[in-house]
Structure 1
């Protein structure tokens, strides 16, 4: 399990929440290859699940990516999060975009309040899109009471 670099939460009107989970793929050739080869949005080959727990003394959220073909799993955690992110994780469906750090650092997120959701998704090119269709019982039980109403825009958690 590795620490995620950061997380961007994007909420656009009329679209499911988009959670951009920025990860370091420099030591994982298989993951780098998946980023390069997957062109379907969302990917039919990968699925993901959220969890919650502790990382040291801090509360943490974790995202587990599962390859349907090889059954290989990778998990990243982040201990910086807030009620809007919790709400997005508990909203079903939502999209998680795993994005390599190098690409994420070079991109500028477009205006997440724009009606141009297609343009927003294009700004996330180079990422692996995973549609999450099951609510995490761990997140709901531990943090569901902190959830606040929806918003439009984006928030970065580092």
Structure 2
């Protein structure tokens, strides 16, 4: 990846890794993404990845097949397409959050918070809304109520799907 960053035009394009390791880019893989902030920590390579429309987990699985010990762990969000996916590593404590609250309160305050369990998310929503919340349907009802108060207001509770 360091070599590609230096030698290739648009060197941080994920497709360059696939081409370097496999000689070509399979047509079935979606590779529209770029990495940044590449770091090495002990037995780990860490970086931020920007992709369009969906996480590139199938592409990273394809890349990882070249190495016996390489695994891809991530959290991926594409709110506009309702994509919330992850691959966690509980042993290392990576990407343990399971729920994401995304809100704009009727007062115009933007909120983005992550939670490891649903009850923790519900308690948080109760605190910011002063409303009793025990189900996802109640969060949806709160969303409608907030939107009636202010057309720009919303509150969404998303669950990350393990892939």
Q: TM-score, normalised by structure 2?
A: 0.21
Hey, which of these two has a bigger chunk of helix by percent?
A: 2
Of structures 1 and 2, the larger Rg is shown by 2
Q: TM-score, normalised by structure 1?
A: 0.21
